């Protein structure tokens, strides 16, 4: 039996396909207008293609109080949230996070902090800096499974989604265009390039696009910092701690600053925006994910600034607890939207190239 969210999204898409007023707004509408019918797979694909910029809602003449009562951003957001949950194992944990994300994040961080403090008390570490609080082997033993298992869950989930979407053969040009679109986030610029209406129906703004870019590139820089540090430690015999002008520090500090700014900005925009134009039931999960990334970056910067003080132990366990919670919960957070959206963008580029040949 079809879910209510997919049925409602289909009803609204059929009306949009007849109207076609929003044809140039984003990638969704050209994909809508290239079809005559919308099965479950197509509705799910279009939902993940949507960036929830909300420009179509504020431009629409068929929103309430009109009898059509269109609210396409919310309709697609509900389907999108459902797809993240249905393709991620175990489904029950994914649904729980989307309902109560903030509480789960706080509980997970608190539990991991207690665990690491217990490990610290049971051990007697001989090392400099961080390793005087928790040994390198202890960190690897804790974090390696917490990194690899979620990556496996994400890979299986994306494979299930890709196969279910009937995406077909991928062209090289489609991959290049998809990476470019994701890197520039041009769908958040609106059809006119002046931005979207996410925070205010009467004002176009690129703020949400900039905050997303700061978050994305901040995260990638932090990941690069960790990757370079692993390379230096295991292959170049250069163990931590590293000086300020080393690659791990330069990547980590700049990435942390960008991540802090981006997540703080996104949290602020979410507080300002109309919840009725998104998946209202998943608001807590989305905010929980944004706040978790903020705690990861802010605690990392605090650790860098005050790592030589008596606050080292407290800051380290808070930071490691937040990082551990992030990786452990990653498959069930809004982090999945990035992977699913990449898949949707790639399928969309494949279809456009097929139509043009």
For the stretch 5-48, pLDDT in tens is 999 999 999 999 999 998 878 889 999 998 888 999 999 999 99
Tens digits of residue pLDDT in 256-297:
999 999 999 999 999 988 889 998 888 888 888 899 899 999
123 and 227 both lie in a single domain: yes
Minimal CA–CA distance to 230: which of 240, 245, 215, 216?
Answer: 240
Return the minimum-mean-pLDDT range out of 67-76, 104-113, 115-124: 115-124
What is the overall mean pLDDT for the chain? 85
73 and 113 both lie in a single domain: no
- Does the pLDDT value for residue 124 go beyond 80? no
258 and 203 both lie in a single domain: yes
Asked if 314 and 126 count as a contact pair (C-beta separation under 8 A), the reply is no
pLDDT above 70 covers a percentage of the chain that reads 89
For residue 248, the enclosing domain spans 89-356
125 and 185 both lie in a single domain: yes
Q: Which two tokens stand for residue 94?
A: 């994914």
Q: Which residues pair with 205 in a beta bridge?
A: 196
For residues 2 and 159, what is the distance between their CA atoms, to the nearest angstrom? 23
Interval 283-312 mean pLDDT: 88
Minimal CA–CA distance to 138: which of 155, 153, 121, 152?
Answer: 121
Tally of domains in the chain: 2
77 and 101 both lie in a single domain: no
60 and 141 both lie in a single domain: no
Of 19, 52, 84, the residue at which a domain comes to its end is: 84
Of 61, 84, 107, the residue at which a domain comes to its end is: 84
50 and 107 both lie in a single domain: no
175 and 27 both lie in a single domain: no
Tens digits of residue pLDDT in 132-161:
666 667 777 777 887 888 889 889 889 888
Q: Report pTM.
A: 0.86
Of 35, 53, 84, the residue at which a domain comes to its end is: 84
181 and 76 both lie in a single domain: no
**172 exposure class (CB count in 10 Å sphere: 0-12, 13-18, 19+):** exposed
Residues in contact with 212: Cβ distance below 8 Å, sequence separation at least 6, in sequence order: 185, 188, 262, 266
Asked if 351 and 28 count as a contact pair (C-beta separation under 8 A), the reply is no
Residues in contact with 76: Cβ distance below 8 Å, sequence separation at least 6, in sequence order: 9, 28, 46, 47, 50, 52
DSSP 230-248: HHHHHTS--PSP--TTSHH
94 and 48 both lie in a single domain: no
For residues 91 and 220, what is the distance between their CA atoms, to the nearest angstrom? 28
71 and 216 both lie in a single domain: no
69 and 121 both lie in a single domain: no
Residues in contact with 295: Cβ distance below 8 Å, sequence separation at least 6, in sequence order: 109, 318, 322
């Amino acid at each position: 039996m079809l879910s209510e969210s997919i049925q409602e999204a289909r009803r609204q898409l059929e009306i949009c396909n007849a109207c076609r007023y929003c044809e140039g707004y984003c990638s969704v509408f050209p994909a809508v207008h290239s079809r005559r019918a919308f099965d479950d797979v197509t509705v799910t694909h279009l939902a993940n293609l949507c960036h929830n910029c909300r420009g179509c809602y504020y431009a629409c003449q068929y929103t309430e109080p009109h009898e059509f009562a269109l609210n396409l951003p919310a309709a697609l957001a509900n389907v999108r949230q459902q797809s993240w949950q249905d393709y991620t194992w175990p489904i029950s944990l994914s649904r729980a996070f989307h309902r109560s994300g903030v509480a789960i994040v706080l509980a997970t961080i608190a539990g991991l902090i207690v665990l690491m403090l217990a490990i610290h008390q049971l051990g007697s570490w001989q090392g400099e800096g961080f390793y005087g609080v928790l040994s390198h082997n202890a960190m690897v033993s804790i974090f390696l499974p917490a990194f690899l298992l979620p990556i496996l869950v994400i890979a299986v989930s994306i494979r299930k989604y890709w196969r279910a979407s009937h995406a077909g053969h991928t062209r090289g040009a489609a991959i290049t265009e998809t990476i470019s679109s994701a890197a520039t986030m041009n769908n958040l610029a609106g059809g006119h390039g002046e931005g979207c209406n996410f925070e205010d129906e009467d004002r176009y703004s690129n703020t949400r696009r900039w905050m997303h870019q700061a978050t994305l590139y901040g995260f990638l820089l932090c990941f690069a910092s960790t990757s370079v540090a692993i390379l230096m430690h295991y292959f170049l015999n250069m163990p931590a701690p590293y000086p300020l002008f080393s690659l791990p520090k330069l990547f980590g500090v700049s990435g942390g600053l960008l991540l802090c700014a981006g997540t703080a900005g996104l949290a602020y925009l979410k507080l300002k925006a109309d919840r009725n134009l998104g998946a209202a039931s998943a608001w807590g999960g989305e905010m929980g994910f944004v706040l978790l990334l903020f705690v990861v970056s802010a605690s990392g910067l605090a650790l860098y600034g005050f790592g030589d003080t008596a606050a080292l132990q407290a800051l380290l366990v808070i930071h490691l607890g937040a990082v551990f919670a992030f990786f452990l919960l990653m498959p069930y957070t809004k982090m999945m939207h990035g992977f699913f959206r990449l898949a949707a963008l790639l399928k969309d580029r494949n279809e456009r190239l097929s139509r043009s040949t």
